[in-house]
Amino acid sequence: MQKFLYHVLARSYGAYFNSTALFSEKEAGKKAFKLFSTPRKGRVLPLQEEYLKMFLGKKIFVKNTGLQTYEWPGSKETVLLLHGWESNAFRWRNLIEKLQEREFNIIAFDAPGHGYSEGTSLNVVTYAEHAQHLIELYSPKYIIGHSMGGLATIHNQYQNPNTSIEKIVTLGAPAELAELMEHYQNLLKFNKKVLQGLDKHIYEHFKFKIDDISTPKFAKSISKPGLIIHDEWDPITPFSASSRLHENWKNSRLIKTTGLGHSLHQEDLYREIADFLKS
């Protein structure tokens, strides 16, 4: 029943966007982008509070948005963690244990509209910009991104190749913004005019078109060592996304898992990540 209601609501949004596009393609694109960029969940849940509050760091302001950081001090190199869409820094708790065993200095933060951070919206371009601010502030040698955080990580590395980052890890990251938009369009059933307005809105505000944001394209210019992890049965982002990324990223290694889904929670896998950073 809940799934049925979700699809009914999605179709009603699509119908609204289509109606709006009859009068203004620009307005339809603006509204469609706002919905696409608005997380429905990802704030800190009661069961997450006790853990996260033990490691609260400074609140960093980027473009007037307060980002909540978390710190797990260590004597070795700094690692920066970027969670995925509708998630928060709590998702890293098990990986953090493995990183602490190797004495890494660990920094994480909640993306805008997620966890304890301010804001109500998030997209890959702004996520990458916020990550770059944290990179400039903490000078991490290693960066790890899950899902949308992985997409933002690759996007930022493409935009800012000469940073402190020496190694990159992505987990279950999507490859193309165009694929995400295609899924969004199919779910809501909005027409090509709305999609055109959406594309124009993104370019007007971020100077990127939908087809421009592609990790396989970005990877051709990335020379840093990379570890790419993806489950072959991932129900959220297809394994082919990381396969294409690996093909174009010469200095990368691809790990294909089976049965771990999109979250990719496994002790052995986290040990593999820590070993890759340590090597």
Count of the separate structural domains present in the chain = 2
In a shared domain, residues 57 and 137? yes
Distance between CA atoms of residues 134 and 145, nearest Å: 14
pLDDT value of position 68: 98
In a shared domain, residues 80 and 151? yes
pLDDT value of position 8: 82
Contact 174, 180 (CB under 8 A): yes
In a shared domain, residues 8 and 25? yes
In a shared domain, residues 68 and 121? yes
In a shared domain, residues 62 and 137? yes
pLDDT value of position 3: 64
In a shared domain, residues 223 and 245? yes
In a shared domain, residues 87 and 220? yes
Q: Which helix (H) or strand (E) is 142 found in, with range?
A: strand 142-146
Domain range spanning residue 5?
Answer: 1-36+177-212
In a shared domain, residues 108 and 239? yes
Cα–Cα distances (Å) from 113 to 45, 57, 81, 140, in that order, read: 14, 18, 17, 24
Tens-digit pLDDT profile for the chain (279 aa)?
556 666 788 899 999 999 999 999 999 999 999 999 999 999 999 999 999 999 999 999 999 999 999 999 999 999 999 999 999 999 999 999 999 999 999 999 999 999 999 999 999 999 999 999 999 999 999 999 999 999 999 999 999 998 899 999 999 999 999 999 999 999 999 999 999 999 999 999 999 999 999 999 999 999 999 999 999 999 999 999 999 999 999 999 999 999 999 999 999 999 999 999 998
Distance between CA atoms of residues 243 and 254, nearest Å: 8
> Which amino acid type is present at position 5?
L
- The model's pTM is 0.95
In a shared domain, residues 63 and 169? yes
In a shared domain, residues 89 and 188? no
In a shared domain, residues 147 and 205? no
Closest CA to 191 of 35, 16, 47, 4: 16
- DSSP letter string, 49-90: HHHHHTTEEEEEEETTEEEEEEEE--SS-EEEEE--TT--GG
Cα–Cα distances (Å) from 208 to 35, 95, 110, 120, 163, in that order, read: 19, 33, 24, 21, 22
Any idea what the CATH number is for the domain that residue 219 is in?
3.40.50.1820
- DSSP letter string, 9-38: HHHHHHHHHHHHHHH-HHHHHHHHHHHHT-
In a shared domain, residues 113 and 239? yes
pLDDT value of position 279: 87
> Which amino acid type is present at position 132?
Q
Distance between CA atoms of residues 58 and 71, nearest Å: 9
Distance between CA atoms of residues 173 and 149, nearest Å: 7
pLDDT value of position 2: 57
